[in-house]
Structures are given as structure tokens and as C-alpha cells.
Chains A and B, each alone.
Chain A
């Protein structure tokens, strides 16, 4: 049984109110949703909070999920995308009113010496991702963190597959220019 079929079966169990199914669904999609949120929120430390909210909504709305309208992954990531947009919007208003601190600016100073090359590359890549326009970042993160294909990303973002391809092409080009991330050397 592949991930999509497993998720469909878990949604049926969720509809019957089985909490164990929710835990398994979180094991399947939780890390991806958290990584997506961490990269798409202006306050990355809120990622776990947003991920919790995503799965609480999945629990509450499980009976409303219609498999004919898309894959479970598409449905879950659509909730995550909307929650991140809402959270960023509310954060903007709060910052305007002075109720919330401005997002932390990335520290340009070199990190401690014990920081490994892989961690430095991760930090550099995350910085490069942060400079992408919102839509490009959403698309590339849905691909990389969520593992969604072009059609699923299109359904999640509510745009055409062609538009997704364009976003991905631009995002990859920008990331290639700003990082040393090349195929096959992520390890």
C-alpha cells in the first residue's frame, strides 16, 4: 500500500473518530507540514503551532473530506498553506500595532566553528528560500518538503499545472544561483 492509499484508509478511520488514525496521519505528513510551515512563516518558531492547528482541523473536518476532489496530501497541504497565509497576515497587523516583535533578521556572522558543513549548507539554503517570492517558495516547498507532484501542487495552490511549472523553474533557477545545491550531493 503506497502513501496515498494509506492516507485514504486513515481518513476513513478518522471519519469514524479513531484517534490512533490521526497519530498515524501525523507520522505520515507531520514532518513535511512542519518543514513547509517553518519556511513559509515570517516567525518560523510558530511552525509547530501551525502544524498542530492543521491536524486539529483535519480531525474536525475529516468527515467533510471528499476523495473525489483530491488526494489527502493536497487537502492537508491546502489547510497548511491557508493557515500560513493567515498567520503571516495577522502577524503583519500585530507588528504594525506594535504587539509583536519584528521577525528576527538572519545573522550574517559566521556560526560557531563546530557547525558542520551540512548545517551551514542547510542554513544557506533556508536563507536563499526565504528570499524567494511567496508563490515560488510555496511551490518549491510543497515539492521538496511535501513531496507533492505538479498536479497536486496546482490543486493545493489553486492554479494551473503550467503556472506551477513556471514557479518551480524560477524557484530552482534562483536557488541554483544562490546556493551550491546541485543534484546528488545533498548528503
Chain B
């Protein structure tokens, strides 16, 4: 019982020592308070605007997603090609692409 009490006291002292040591690292509430109150005073931004800002700041994620989607659609199209007309369809599409270049027929 006495040992347990001593352990608890040692643990409390250890926690206190750790708290005092960590209190030496700078963490001032005044700048934090100013920053929070400034953000509250600023006009609220629309969710779409926030999203736009995020995308413009880090466009890589959106570009990667778009690229992955294009690759996926190309793979799906390639896999489905034999079922929707095979090489004949490809030839028709290629002809369709050429027609505007020739001025139509």
C-alpha cells in the first residue's frame, strides 16, 4: 500500500517536472488570441472559394486525379473496343477526325 502511494507521488512529481520543462518552450497566448480574433473579424469565405484557393495552392492533387481518370477511361475504352466495333470503329473515328481537315465531303 505504502509502495503504491510512493509510486503515485513519484509519478506526480515526474509529470510536474515534465510539465515545467515543456513550459519552457515558447507558447504565448497573446499572438494566438490576436490571430484567432482577426480571423473571426475577417469576412467569411464561401466554401467554393476556399476549395478554389486550396486547389490553386496545391494543384498537383487535382492534376494527378484528372490524369488518373483519363488513363482509366483510356484503359476501359481499349478493353471495351472489341465489343463495340473493333478496328472498324477505330477506322471510322479516324476518318471522322480527318474530314474537317479535308473541308468535309
Interface residues of A (CB under 8 A from B): 19, 22-23, 26-27, 30-32, 34-35, 38-39, 48, 51-52, 55-56, 59, 94, 97-99, 118-119, 121-122, 125-126, 140, 143-145, 147, 168-169, 172, 175-176, 181-187
Judge whether B33 and A27 touch: CB under 8 Å.
Answer: yes
Judge whether A125 and B22 touch: CB under 8 Å.
Answer: yes
A23 partner residues in chain B, CB cutoff 8 A: 33, 37
Known: A56-B40, A172-B14. 13 other contacts (CB 8 A): A23-B37, A26-B32, A26-B36, A31-B23, A32-B27, A35-B22, A48-B32, A48-B35, A125-B21, A176-B14, A183-B10, A183-B17, A186-B18
Q: How far is the CB of B36 from chain A (nearest CB, A)?
A: 5
Q: Which residue of A lies closest to B58 (CB)?
A: A99
Which of A38, A98, A183 has the most chain B CB atoms inside 10 A of its CB?
A183
Q: Which residue of A lies closest to B60 (CB)?
A: A99
Q: How far is the CB of A105 from chain B (nearest CB, A)?
A: 19
Judge whether A22 and B15 touch: CB under 8 Å.
Answer: no
Chain A CB within 8 A of B2 CB: no
Q: Choose from B11, B22, B28, B35 the contact partner of A145 (Cβ within 8 Å).
A: B22
Judge whether B25 and A122 touch: CB under 8 Å.
Answer: yes
Judge whether A143 and B15 touch: CB under 8 Å.
Answer: yes
Q: Which residue of A lies closest to B31 (CB)?
A: A48
A186 to B19, CA, bound (A): 9
Judge whether B64 and A147 touch: CB under 8 Å.
Answer: no
B58 partner residues in chain A, CB cutoff 8 A: 94, 99
Residues 64-75 of chain B, each 1 if its beta carbon lies under 8 Å from chain A, else 0: 100000000000
Task: Report the contact-size class of chain B (Cβ under 8 Å from the partner).
Answer: 20 to 34
A31 partner residues in chain B, CB cutoff 8 A: 23, 27-29
Q: How far is the CB of A73 from chain B (nearest CB, A)?
A: 14
Interface residues of B (CB under 8 A from A): 10-11, 13-25, 27-29, 31-33, 35-37, 39-40, 58, 60-61, 64
A122 to B58, CA, bound (A): 35
Judge whether B20 and A52 touch: CB under 8 Å.
Answer: no
A176 to B25, CA, bound (A): 20
B39 partner residues in chain A, CB cutoff 8 A: 52, 56
Q: How far is the CB of B68 from chain A (nearest CB, A)?
A: 11
Judge whether B29 and A144 touch: CB under 8 Å.
Answer: no
B17 partner residues in chain A, CB cutoff 8 A: 181-186
Judge whether B14 and A181 touch: CB under 8 Å.
Answer: yes
Q: Which residue of A lies closest to B9 (CB)?
A: A183
Q: Which residue of B lies closest to A30 (CB)?
A: B29
